[in-house]
Structure 1
Amino acid sequence: MTQRDLFAQAALDQIPKILTLLDRNPHSPTYGCFDRNFWQYKIIDFPSGMSQEFVWPLALVYSLPLPNNLYYQQPTIRDWVLAGILYAARSAHADGSCDDYFPFERAGGAAAFSLLACVESYELLGLDSPAALDFFRTRANWLAHHHESGRLTNHQALIVLCLIRVSQLLGSEDWQDEIAQRLDRVFAWQNPEGWFQEYEGCDPGYHTLTLSCLARVYDLQPSERLRDAIAKGVTLAAYFVHPDGSYGGEYTSRNTYNFFPHGFELVGRWLPEALSVNDRFLEGLARGLGACYADDHIVGHHTWNYLLAWQAFVLERPPTKQPAPGRVWLQEARVLIEQRQDTKLYLALNKGGAFKFFRGDRLVLSDTQFSLLVRQGGALKNAVGHLVGPYQIEVGPDEIVLRGSLGWAKQKQMTTLNLIILRAVMYTVGRFFPNLIRKLLQKVLITGKKPAPFDFTRQFRWRDGTWQVTDELRAETWENLVSAGIAADQTSIYVVMSRTFQAGQLQPWLDLTAAVQQLSPGQPLRLERTL
């Protein structure tokens, strides 16, 4: 299989699942709905608007002569795409917005992803539907004036692309000011180190989605400022392709393994080093090291992006450019990447020293810091060392030291009572203030760190051709501890695209419970490892 066809095959593998999620019955009141939990299982009371994004992968497999593509030019696929677009219109609120996780949420991300998918599919298949065009205008108007809580640059770039594409399709100039303002916000949220802000910092995975959108915007409305921003972003992304071809992970701000390749193919036409980013990722994809995103809610994003990458694939490619050895110290992102001899260390200094360590092209160890299960007031709570926080950091030539406290993991679950309360709030006052509800939920589930009564020191020393890691964990008492250990893939905030499976997560849990239970009150736990 060629490099290019790896993208096609990975996407085609998801099409049967996407079709299973679709209500394909023309006589059904939910014909065209991709939220199977709603139309088939009937276990939720509203459809997720994000699900209608799945029309785009179907439109692409209908249109592209991919190898082994049994969906190519199948009339039924075309009918189902139109049904999906019209269901997106029927299920939207009167103002064009849609919900994703709770009623009257009016989710900006879901509205933008699904609008872009519907517009691209409509044009790609040459569809003709006045109802769809009216819907596109209404949703674009809502997106142009909606401002969500939290700094998610990928959403801003996505909305810019949506407004440009709807403007082109409708021959309208209604949103030129909003396009310029959103693009200015993207520029403002790009750090001088090249990364785009995602909540509390740098997430290389969502970064590639932002680049994918901006690459399309550049093709449609080129500017020198946008070109420079994209070039900085490509340089940043190149740092995070691991020696084995995997990408991202738990040491990043949003814990994702996301990789969206389409933008690198577009940018590679004028910046050849962008193609090396994709080539290195394709090596990992060929080895089965891509993450799995085949769940009901997020299967669409990578599927359409991989198909677009296949379509835009640059056939004449320069030799793959490998990163130079040495240290990359992203001081504002608080991420350090160090390549010495045949080893490479990816270290999150803003997440307590969570890291991935490679020797040659093999992952040796993934570490997401201490995790303690503690009995507190009759309940079990989880104290972890990998939450984003203001840790004390010392970075020297051959020694790196971090100090700080563990934090309480965000493990809030939805209960029957919580669901009833949320529904009651949203059907009364919440429907008028959805952004306030979103902001409150972000504080509960995503942002911020509440310290736990456990202090740690993590020290990295370069000795004899490898890194030696010394951990020390301190507490006034260990009597309430139930379990202790270190995992390869533990995360403790809510992020839609995190906690996906990736082969590196097969590393076993390091159980430290017995060692901690032997400690006297006030005696520290000490752990020494040579990587």
Structure 2
Amino acid sequence: MTRDLFARQALNQIPKILTLLDRNPHSPTYGCFDRNFWHYKIIDFPSGMAQEFVWPLALAYHTDLPDNPFYQQPVILDWVEAGILFAASSSHPDGSCDDYFPYERAAGAAAFSLLASIESYKAMGLHNPIALQFFEKRANWLAHHMESGQLSNHQALIVLCLDLLSELLHTNQWDRARSQRLEQVLSWQSPEGWFIEYEGCDPGYHTLTISCLARIYLLRLDPRLKEALIKAVELAAEFIHPDGSYGGEYTSRNTYNFFPHGFELVGRWFPEALEIK
């Protein structure tokens, strides 16, 4: 029942997401989710972050619920593939992408959209060598690029991308980079349990870091990860307000985000994670 409730709320957002997508297969920006770029033309480069919307489309395609008009619709598969290919064609030659500024080469936008593209590619059963070449190029850039700020969620996200892509491509070329990034994330956890986001603790992005690390833990049962996740989950519980809200403007990044998936994964072996509500 609860799972259906969440799914229905998510499905309600798909029509809005589709308004952001250039769905004209004859358009040079076919597959672009940045409406400000392809439709309004108020910016002259697309935000690479916007391509992460391929993932909710892929999830909607596979969600078997009554009255889900997107379930198993062939055109959704076409749009997901188009979104991935636009991410590839709009990226810089080194595989990076921009977010807010031209030539920004934003690690966050590159990692978020890569994760969404990898997951969507696998979910939709695609077989596209152009997409795979793009994944590898972007992963290489992420593996060797260090952003200026200390953003634990980005680093955890990059490790997850490299883990998943290594599995998809059957390669070990990023093993060293993955290990180094993971060590960095673990070193950025405070004794209180929070992971640094710029100059301090941000509970919102903290939950995203938990989600990424929880998925990484499924791929490699590292006891240090388990210990870090327990501390992180226990810390997160302290930021739930009496009215049920979470985070806010008193945090290092002023976020109200809450990503529940990591708590569900951790809850399989640490039941206290499921008590956060």
Shorter-chain TM-score bucket reads: over 0.9
Cα offset, 1:8, TM superposition: 1.5
Q: State the distance in 1 between where 2:256 and 2:32 align.
A: 28
Q: Where does the alignment leave 5 or more consecutive residues of structure 2 unmatched?
A: none
1:129-528 matches, within 5 Å, as 129-277=128-276, 280=277
- Counterpart of 1:107 in structure 2 is 106
CA contact (8 A) 1:22 1:35 kept: yes
Change (3 A) 1:276 1:68: farther
Q: State the distance in 2 between where 1:247 and 1:66 align.
A: 30
- Counterpart of 1:24 in structure 2 is 23
- Counterpart of 2:84 in structure 1 is 85
Answering whether residue 50 of structure 2 is matched by residue 36 of structure 1, we say: no
Q: State the distance in 1 between where 2:195 and 2:216 align.
A: 16
1:57-79 superposed Cα distances (whole Å, 9 cap, x missing partner): 00011012245422111111111
Aligned partner of residue 191 in structure 2, secondary structure: coil
Q: State the distance in 2 between where 1:267 and 1:51 align.
A: 29
Q: State the distance in 2 between where 1:10 and 1:258 align.
A: 17
Amino acid of the structure 2 residue aligned with 1:65: D
Q: State the distance in 2 between where 1:187 and 1:67 align.
A: 43
Amino acid of the structure 2 residue aligned with 1:33: C
Cα offset, 1:241, TM superposition: 1.6
1:88-128 superposed Cα distances (whole Å, 9 cap, x missing partner): 00001111000111111110000000001000100111001
Answering whether residue 70 of structure 2 is matched by residue 64 of structure 1, we say: no
Which stretches of structure 1, 4 residues or longer, exceed 6 Å deviation after superposition?
A: none
Amino acid of the structure 2 residue aligned with 1:142: W
Q: Which has a greater percent of helix?
A: 2
Answering whether residue 54 of structure 2 is matched by residue 55 of structure 1, we say: yes
Cα offset, 1:9, TM superposition: 2.6
Q: State the distance in 1 between where 2:154 and 2:173 align.
A: 20
Cα offset, 1:257, TM superposition: 0.6
Q: State the distance in 1 between where 2:64 and 2:102 align.
A: 40
CA contact (8 A) 1:211 1:230 kept: yes
Quick one: percent identity of the two aligned structures?
Answer: 73
Q: State the distance in 1 between where 2:65 and 2:141 align.
A: 36
Cα offset, 1:13, TM superposition: 2.0
- Counterpart of 1:6 in structure 2 is 5
Amino acid of the structure 2 residue aligned with 1:202: C
Aligned partner of residue 239 in structure 1, secondary structure: helix
Q: State the distance in 2 between where 1:249 and 1:68 align.
A: 36
1:104-161 superposed Cα distances (whole Å, 9 cap, x missing partner): 1110000000001000100111001000000000000000000001110000000000
**Residues matched between the structures, number:** 277
CA contact (8 A) 1:32 1:87 kept: yes
Q: State the distance in 1 between where 2:219 and 2:230 align.
A: 17
Aligned partner of residue 247 in structure 1, secondary structure: coil
Amino acid of the structure 2 residue aligned with 1:43: I
1:182-226 superposed Cα distances (whole Å, 9 cap, x missing partner): 000000100010000001111100000000001110111121000
Q: State the distance in 1 between where 2:33 and 2:71 align.
A: 20
Answering whether residue 92 of structure 2 is matched by residue 96 of structure 1, we say: no
Amino acid of the structure 2 residue aligned with 1:269: R
Amino acid of the structure 2 residue aligned with 1:77: I
Amino acid of the structure 2 residue aligned with 1:151: Q
Aligned partner of residue 17 in structure 1, secondary structure: helix
Q: Which has a greater percent of strand?
A: 1
Q: TM-score, normalised by structure 1?
A: 0.51
Which structure would you say has the larger Rg? 1
Q: State the distance in 2 between where 1:48 and 1:274 align.
A: 35
Amino acid of the structure 2 residue aligned with 1:187: L
